[in-house]
Amino acid sequence: MSPTDFIMPYFVLEGAKEPKEIASLEGVSQHSLSSLIKDVRECYESGIKAVIIFGIPANKDLMGSGAYARDGVVQTAAREIRDHFGDDIVVFADLCLDEYTDHGHCGLIDQSGRVDNDSTLELYQKIAISQAEAGVHFVAPSGMMDGQVKAIRSALDESGFDEVGVLAYAVKYASGLYGPFRDAVNVQIVGGGDRKGYQQDFRNSRESLREVRLDVSEGADMVMVKPAVTYLDVIAQVRELVEIPVCAYHVSGEYAMIKAASNLGWIDGDAVALEQMYAIKRAGADVIISYFAKEIVSSL
Ligand code: PBG
């Protein structure tokens, strides 16, 4: 395992002057633009060469318009990173609506409150183009709408961004492990709802292979499995199935559990984090998104 196996996730808060700690994600902050650049530089110096950006907009609305604004928070952050680091750091942008909608769903909702797959795809295309214009190397659609990779790929190609890649969240389970992330991006799903209509059922593993095959056929350049440690079997199966890189997302809940138990003195957090990263690697992941990335590379 080496530092280049990792993608470091970053949260950027629109308009922030100072970074803000996230209570449930110890050591992780909602960044201002200047604290972001400072942290990305440390990351780069530690040998990590890739980051993924999540935005927290100043305002949320029904359509999630902050997600595709030219001067949106992710677009601005991406431009800033590209200005400072050029092509030395690979910039991925999470492509989704949930951080930007006032109802907290990953897609547009119709009058009955159901997420409407196909009208959401049109917005995903707009987000992709605005992120590509801002200079991201990869877009990473995480909303789990059917046909999202194809829609995004064709929109990018038609706008002259054929060199911008797609990291597809191909396998994403409706997991209880995303709790701290939702604190990090200030998302609450309206009416105590969930994402079981578009994320996967953890009782089903074969569906994952179908999702991966579809995303590859739609033009994905890399596929992701998420969460990681709870789905090592799936990572291993996906590794067998595809030739393109497989990415695993060690998610917020996986990170927070280790930090919490470690703070109580019940486990050695550094040792467990390293053990889990190797487990993910052993299962077949080429790349790992982890909140541990920056702190773990010093022990490799
Ligand atoms: C959706 C998204 C989520 C995560 C990444 N992208 C949350 C969700 O599906 O509710 C979770 C990542 C984590 O828990 O670290 N935009």
CA distance 7 to 292: 10
* Tokens 């961004």 belong to residue: 161
Confidence of residue 285 (pLDDT cuts 50, 70, 90): very high
The percentage of the chain sitting over the pLDDT mark of 90, rounded to a whole number, equals 92
- Cβ(34)–Cβ(45) under 8 Å? no
Q: Which helix or strand (DSSP H or E) is residue 249 part of?
A: strand 246-250
CA distance 228 to 195: 18
| Ligand 1 centroid to residue 204 C-alpha, Å | 20
Strand-pairing partners, residue 253, are: none
For residue 172, indicate whether it is catalytic. Answer: yes
Residue nearest (by alpha carbon) to ligand 1 atom 1: 142
| Ligand 1 centroid to residue 181 C-alpha, Å | 6
**CB of 52 shorter than 6 A to ligand 1:** no
Tokens of 219: 């033009």
Catalytic hit among 49, 172, 259, 294: 172
**CB of 142 shorter than 6 A to ligand 1:** yes
- What local confidence, expressed as pLDDT, does residue 193 receive? 86
- What local confidence, expressed as pLDDT, does residue 151 receive? 98
CA distance 145 to 184: 23
CB contact burial 51-76 (16+ within 10 A = b; e otherwise)? bbbbbbbeebeeebbbbbbeebbbbb
The domain defined by 3-299 folds into TIM Barrel (3.20.20)
Confidence of residue 232 (pLDDT cuts 50, 70, 90): very high
Task: Indicate the domain borders of the chain.
Answer: 3-299
